[in-house]
Amino acid sequence: KRPTSNSIDTVSDRDFVLDFLYSVSVCSMHISRIAEELIIWNSDGFNLINLSDKVVTGSSIMPQKKNPDLLEYLRGKVGSSYGNLFSMLTILKGLPLSYFKDLQDDKEIVFKSNDTLVNCLKIFDEILKNSSANKKRMLELANSGYITATDLADYLVKNHSMSFRIAYQKTAAVVNLAEKKKKKLNELSLEELKKIEPKLNDDVLKVFDLKNSINSKKSYGGTSFDNIKKMIMKYKKQK
């Protein structure tokens, strides 16, 4: 774009290489995190996603077993990216100004990092294309653990003019009741809820509906279906 202002600094400077290697490392780190997430989701204990036979390998002794080897490969490759970044930092740390043969290694490091990341992105794309969500299982887990309890506290504050402290105590009592009766929150009857807060009416039952809970998070960055759709459209346009 323009001539460099100092020729001695120019031939010894490799900040642009470090910037590239750092970006590769960050991208690799995110791929690794998502890969770990998908490995967990694919395990029998969670069973949240299904991986196609195209992106898994079989076991040598267990014919029914599917190994997420490609995801494990992606998870591990971040080590190479970090290593390349630190290799370059180490090469540069003791160099005086001007050019030295030590800098010849920067090409190998850059090309290797670039090739590794490109391959990882291609594999990652293929895995996503050959994965499907187990929606029934996701809904089952989402409905467990009294996840809508906070929605009840918010409802009491908004609709019955309670302080959040009192609403919190009332909600805790509802959760304790559900645990005692071995019920989910949405399985409690209005009569049971009124024993804790007599002012409650039929509207409170909507609070325990998972979809209503999700869609109530309408602020920017929230989990409502509309927000998620907007984010998907946004990133599709960027692509």
d(CA 143, CA 162) in angstroms, rounded, equals 26
Final residue in a domain of this structure, among 132, 153, 177: 132
Q: What average pLDDT does the chain have?
A: 92
Take residue 85 and report the two structure tokens written for it.
């970044």
In a domain, 37, yes or no: yes
Q: Which residue has the higher pLDDT, 213 or 60?
A: 213
Residues 128 and 152 placed together within one structural domain of the fold: no
Final residue in a domain of this structure, among 75, 108, 132: 132
Q: What is the CATH number of the domain that holds 66?
A: 1.20.200.10
Q: What is the pLDDT of residues 115-163, one digit of tens each?
A: 999 999 999 999 999 999 999 999 999 888 899 999 999 999 999 989 9
Mean local confidence (pLDDT), 208-228: 92
Least confident range from 37-41, 91-95, 152-156: namely 91-95
pLDDT at 96: 86
Residues 21 and 120 placed together within one structural domain of the fold: yes
In a domain, 61, yes or no: yes
pLDDT at 33: 97
The pLDDT-based confidence of 107 (bands split at 50, 70, 90) is: very high
The count of domains in the chain is 2
pLDDT at 143: 86
pLDDT at 9: 84
Instruction: Tell me the backbone φ, ψ of residue 132, rounded to 5 degrees.
Output: -140, 150
On the CB side of 228, how many CA atoms lie within 13 Å of its CA?
7
In a domain, 91, yes or no: yes
pLDDT at 94: 86
- How far, in whole angstroms, is CA 125 from its chain's centroid? 16
- ∠ Cα 196 201 207 (to 5°): 85
Q: Which domain holds residue 168?
A: 141-238
Q: What is the CATH number of the domain that holds 168?
A: 1.10.40.30
Mean local confidence (pLDDT), 18-33: 97
In a domain, 2, yes or no: no
Residues 128 and 145 placed together within one structural domain of the fold: no
Residues 108 and 168 placed together within one structural domain of the fold: no
In a domain, 149, yes or no: yes
Q: Which residue has the higher pLDDT, 95 or 239?
A: 95
Residues 97 and 148 placed together within one structural domain of the fold: no
pLDDT at 98: 86
Residues 122 and 147 placed together within one structural domain of the fold: no
In the chain, % of residues over pLDDT 90: 76
Q: What is the pLDDT of residues 47-75, one digit of tens each?
A: 999 999 999 888 778 777 788 999 999 99
Q: What is the pLDDT of residues 164-188, one digit of tens each?
A: 999 999 999 999 999 999 999 999 9
**Alpha helices of the chain — where are they, by DSSP H?**
7-12, 15-42, 69-93, 105-129, 135-142, 149-160, 164-181, 190-194, 204-207, 210-215, 225-238
Q: Which stretch of DSSP H or E encloses residue 67?
A: strand 66-67
pLDDT at 238: 84
Instruction: Find out whether 125 and 119 touch, Cβ atoms under 8 Å.
Output: no
- Cα Dmax for the chain: 82
Final residue in a domain of this structure, among 132, 167, 184: 132
